[in-house]
């Protein structure tokens, strides 16, 4: 790396700190990657915020930190110079390992700051804040509410704030939370820190830039990596359940000695996984914790039956940190072949090394998630990415309904692959928890400051950013509501200060306050003094009850209700527990439209196995027999199916409009099912939605179920919830007339 042009990779290399250049040589790097060189030049020569979009394992972390550490190497001011914010503690631990050696060589302190990090290192940082802090949003929240003085001293002087896995913050309440925390940190600072966002899967880069710097998205420089994707090898495998199956994830062999006399689809899927994946490292994603546990249990049983070492282990959020980390370390070490059966817990960038293949049980619903998962495989140069999708469809007989006969899971899988090959990624969707998260932040700011007047509180929280849609009058009404006798979260002093009332104090003092997402009370499972993980407290348990957990089978020997502890021991029988229900991923409009195109097409993708091809043919045949190319309405007994081919949110809003017109129904991936009506009755009512000059949005919002969402949904005033829903769904409301005219 010599004789460089200033804008070349070599030129970028020579702009780095000498210690960093020496570290790069010690790593044996031949050259900087293209995205690293571009980022180095932008950080060192520029002053803008930066958004880096690059595939998994493209070197984003080094792209961010090599120039940032160069910039802060000689800084002597007190306070952290860099805040690295991650959605996962495990990712923070990984990044600490990657940065610690280099930062040590540069005499730049680096500290992990989350609930499981060592207290001694945090205490040293509090007494002498310097260098890099690797932190979660919840730990920032805890610092602001519990140690406000330290928070200002530690956080307000940062030169850079790096947000990793930015796409995970673009939707959901944690994204609202972090955006608000960043705004509050800026308000403390004499000069706002430069922000840098890192992500592998962003469907709408300008949308991400708006999130990164809401007050001026044009200040964000977008750097998109120019990399070639590895060869993709894929297969969709189809499976059909037996007749009259109520539980597609039940434990193999039933809950005791009595064997279930028939096999279900998951048994055959486990057979294929066992025969195909043994001997290598892989990830198998299940659509739920229940699917993960049932699959891991089946694979362990097959290993025992074949008298071979078990290579298959579960990984999900209810398992103990110890069990999760043991599996992550085993994958990363690569000494023993290992397959993780997991939920989205291994979707984000925790370092587990390269895996040979990725599988998904269940038809994908999100291109963003699928691309993120696929990025785990094919990371070594010259090796392909391998994806297997296992699709389960119900048994069809004379009693089967139209929707099942259309084989939507198979059709959606093919549609997802078609969009994947087109490199489509859906943008982030709406976040319904705005009002709930605003309540959380109101309580947080009051706790941080001891009290604050209404207007400064509004200006701090509701400028450009996550709560910009809330008006001054709505904010004032929200404060009055929170001060009401029914809520008692805040109160106002004689001089106008908003302070915490008794219930507000109690809420903020709870350890669960730091997170904006809801956390259910849980049973703790222990075996021989070792914690295995947790189950929802709502899950019914009793002494001698059987449970499948951590990929194994247990019997409950004793229960300590005072500490919510279950004492378990190994047992041959087991019942797969039902965890708290998670909301399904919403379908984007583009995916729903692509499903219709798959129905209309005649090609048979070569990546479908024989059963998958049969299921595709069955779905297309049913589509044709119903004349759905030209027909919107299909009668089935007393109900009327309305096929809309729109995304989940658009369909849900139109469903609310139908209910407002006197046609309540059920939303599904293909449209609506209206109860106890027919086309003759329904069509005039639906057509009337098109003839009205405009649908009254406020009246429409009254037909939306559970319109308030989030941790503090019960404290959200109804008018505010409806007003925010209307603003978030403007385009969907405007589409009602267009859809009605097309019927």
pLDDT digits (tens, 9 = 90+) for 68-107: 999 999 998 999 999 999 998 888 988 998 899 999 999 9
Q: Where is average pLDDT lowest: 108-122, 485-499, 548-562?
A: 108-122
Task: List Cβ neighbours of 625 (8 Å cut-off, separation of 6 or more).
Answer: none
Give the Cβ contact number of residue 280 at 10 Å: 15
Q: Each residue of 564-617: pLDDT tens digit? A: 999 999 999 889 998 866 667 899 999 999 999 999 999 999 999 999 999 999
> Percent of the chain, pLDDT > 90?
83
- CB contact at 8 A, 440 and 180: no
Q: At 190, phi and psi to the nearest 5?
A: -70, -30
Residue 353 scores a pLDDT above 90 = no
Contact 161, 185 (CB under 8 A): yes
pLDDT tens, position by position, 716-737: 999 999 999 999 999 999 999 9
3-state secondary structure at position 260: coil
* Contact between 440 and 490 (Cβ < 8 Å): no
- Residues with Cβ < 8 Å from 333, sequence gap 6 or more? 353
pTM equals: 0.93
Mean of the pLDDT values across residues 271-299?
A: 96
* Residue 338 reports pLDDT greater than 70: yes
Locus of tokens 């949308």: 207
Q: What are the b/e assignments for 715-728, b being 16+ CB within 10 Å?
A: bbbeebbbbbbbeb
pLDDT-based confidence at residue 352 (cuts at 50, 70, 90): confident
The mean of the pLDDT values for the chain is 92
What is the domain class of 433-509 according to CATH? mainly alpha
**Helix and strand tally (H, E) in the chain?**
27, 25
Spatial strand order in the sheet of 110-113: 110-113, 132-135, 82-85, 160-163, 194-199, 49-53, 220-224
User: Coil, strand or helix: which one is 426?
Assistant: coil
CA 583 to each of CA 108, 298, 709, 714: distance values in angstroms, whole numbers, following the listed order: 43, 26, 12, 19
| Of 359 and 375, more confident | 359
- With vertex at residue 501, the alpha carbon angle to CA 497 and CA 502, rounded to the nearest 5 degrees, is 160
Q: Are 80 and 154 in contact (CB under 8 A)?
A: yes
Tokens of 3: 């004789």
3-state secondary structure 11-47: HHHHCCCHHHHHHHHHHCCCCCCHHHHHHHHHHHHCC
Q: Return the CA Rg of the chain.
A: 27
The closest of 112, 105, 44, 114 to 72, measured between CA atoms, is 44
Is it true that domain 232-251+265-422 has CATH number 3.90.1150.10? Answer: no
Q: 297: which 2 tokens? A: 């249990």
pLDDT (0 to 100) of residue 58: 78
Please give the average per-residue pLDDT across 11-19, as a whole number.
94
Once rounded to an integer, what is the mean pLDDT over residues 323-351?
89
Distance CA 516, CA 39 (A): 33
- Spell out the residues 6+ positions from residue 612 whose beta carbon is closer than 8 angstroms to its own: 236, 237, 238, 391, 410, 413
Please state the rounded mean pLDDT for residues 213-234.
Answer: 89
Output the six-digit token pair for 412.
């959606």
> Domain 12-224, what fold?
Rossmann fold (3.40.50)
Which pLDDT value is given to residue 228?
67
Q: Indicate if the pLDDT at residue 437 is higher than 90.
A: yes
Quote the pLDDT of residue 375: 85
At 254 the three-state DSSP class reads coil
Question: In the predicted model, what is the mean pLDDT of residues 238-250?
Answer: 93
How much of the chain is in helix, strand and coil states, percent to nearest 5? Answer: 45, 15, 40
pLDDT at 10 over 90: no
Task: Average the pLDDT over 433-442 and give the result.
Answer: 98
Chain-centroid distance of CA 83 in Å reads 22
CA-to-CA distance for 185 and 161, rounded, in angstroms? 10
**pLDDT value for 256:** 43
Q: Please list, in sequence order, all residues whose beta carbon lies within 8 angstroms of the beta carbon of residue 79, skipping any fewer than 6 positions away.
A: 129, 130, 153, 154, 155, 156, 157, 158
Please give the average per-residue pLDDT across 496-525, as a whole number: 92
What's the whole-number mean pLDDT along residues 537-559? 92
Q: In this model, does residue 257 exceed pLDDT 50?
A: no
């Amino acid at each position: 790396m010599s004789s460089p042009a200033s804008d070349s990779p070599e030129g970028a290399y020579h702009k780095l700190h000498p210690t960093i250049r020496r570290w790069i040589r010690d790593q044996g790097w031949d050259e900087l990657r293209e995205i690293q060189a571009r980022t180095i030049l932008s950080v060192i020569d520029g002053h803008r915020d930066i958004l880096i979009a690059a595939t998994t394992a493209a070197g984003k972390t080094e792209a961010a930190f090599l120039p940032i550490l160069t910039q802060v190497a000689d800084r002597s001011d007190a306070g952290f110079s860099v805040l690295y914010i991650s959605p996962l503690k495990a990712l923070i631990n990984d990044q600490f390992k990657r940065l610690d050696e280099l930062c040590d060589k540069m005499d730049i302190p680096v500290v992990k700051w989350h609930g499981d990090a060592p207290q001694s290192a945090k205490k040293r940082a509090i007494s002498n804040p310097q260098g890099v802090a690797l932190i979660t949003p919840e730990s920032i929240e805890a610092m602001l509410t519990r140690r406000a003085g330290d928070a200002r001293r530690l956080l307000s002087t940062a030169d850079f704030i790096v947000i990793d896995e930015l796409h995970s913050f673009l939707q959901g309440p944690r994204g609202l939370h972090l955006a608000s925390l960043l705004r509050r940190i800026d308000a403390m600072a004499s000069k706002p820190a430069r922000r840098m966002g890192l992500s592998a899967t962003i469907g709408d880069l300008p949308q991400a830039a708006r999130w990164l710097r809401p007050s001026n998205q044009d200040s964000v420089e977008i750097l998109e990596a120019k990399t070639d994707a590895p060869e993709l090898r894929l297969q969709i495998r189809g499976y059909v359940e037996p007749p009259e199956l109520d539980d597609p994830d039940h434990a193999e062999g039933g809950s005791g000695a009595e064997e279930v006399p028939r096999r279900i689809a998951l048994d055959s899927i486990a057979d294929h996984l066992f025969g195909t994946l043994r001997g290598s490292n892989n990830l198998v994603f299940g659509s739920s914790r229940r699917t993960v546990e049932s699959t891991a249990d089946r694979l362990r049983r097959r290993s025992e039956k074949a008298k071979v070492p078990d290579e298959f282990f579960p990984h999900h959020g209810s398992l103990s940190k110890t069990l999760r980390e043991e599996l992550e370390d085993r994958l990363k070490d690569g000494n023993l072949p290992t397959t993780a059966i997991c939920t989205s817990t291994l979707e984000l960038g925790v370092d587990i090394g390269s895996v040979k293949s990725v599988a998904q049980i269940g038809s994908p619903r999100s291109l963003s998630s699928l691309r993120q998962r696929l990025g785990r495989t094919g990371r070594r140069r010259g090796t392909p990415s391998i994806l297997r999708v296992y699709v389960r469809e119900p048994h069809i007989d004379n009693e089967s309904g139209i929707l099942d006969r259309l084989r939507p899971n198979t059709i959606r899988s093919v549609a997802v692959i078609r969009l994947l090959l087109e490199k489509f990624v859906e943008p982030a969707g709406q976040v319904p928890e705005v009002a709930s998260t605003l309540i959380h932040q109101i309580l947080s700011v009051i706790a941080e400051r001891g009290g604050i007047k209404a207007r400064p509180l509004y200006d701090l929280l509701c400028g450009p950013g996550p709560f910009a849609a809330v008006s001054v009058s709505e904010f004032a009404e929200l404060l009055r509501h929170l001060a009401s006798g029914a809520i008692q979260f805040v109160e106002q002093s004689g001089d106008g200060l908003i302070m915490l009332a008794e219930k507000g104090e109690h809420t903020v003092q709870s350890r669960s306050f730091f997170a904006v997402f809801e956390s259910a009370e849980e049973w703790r499972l222990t075996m021989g003094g070792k914690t295995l993980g947790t189950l929802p407290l709502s899950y019914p348990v009793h002494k001698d009850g059987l449970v499948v957990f951590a990929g194994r089978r247990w019997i409950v020997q004793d229960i300590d209700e005072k500490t919510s502890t279950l004492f378990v021991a190994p047992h041959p029988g087991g019942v797969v527990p039902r965890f708290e229900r998670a909301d399904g991923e919403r379908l984007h409009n583009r995916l729903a439209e692509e499903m219709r195109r798959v129905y209309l097409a005649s090609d048979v993708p070569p990546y479908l196995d024989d059963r998958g091809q049969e299921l595709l043919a069955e779905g297309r045949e049913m589509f044709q027999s119903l004349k759905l190319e030209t027909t919107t309405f299909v009668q089935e007994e007393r109900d009327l199916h309305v096929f809309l081919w729109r995304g989940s949110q658009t369909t849900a809003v139109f469903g609310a409009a139908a209910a407002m017109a006197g046609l309540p129904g059920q939303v599904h991936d293909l449209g609506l099912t209206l109860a106890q009506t027919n086309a003759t009755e329904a069509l005039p009512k639906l057509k009337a939605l098109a003839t009205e000059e405009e649908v009254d949005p406020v009246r429409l919002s009254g037909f939306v179920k559970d319109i308030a969402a989030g941790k503090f949904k019960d404290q959200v005033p109804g008018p505010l919830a409806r007003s925010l829903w209307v603003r978030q769904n403007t385009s969907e409301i405007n589409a009602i007339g267009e859809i009605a005219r097309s019927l």
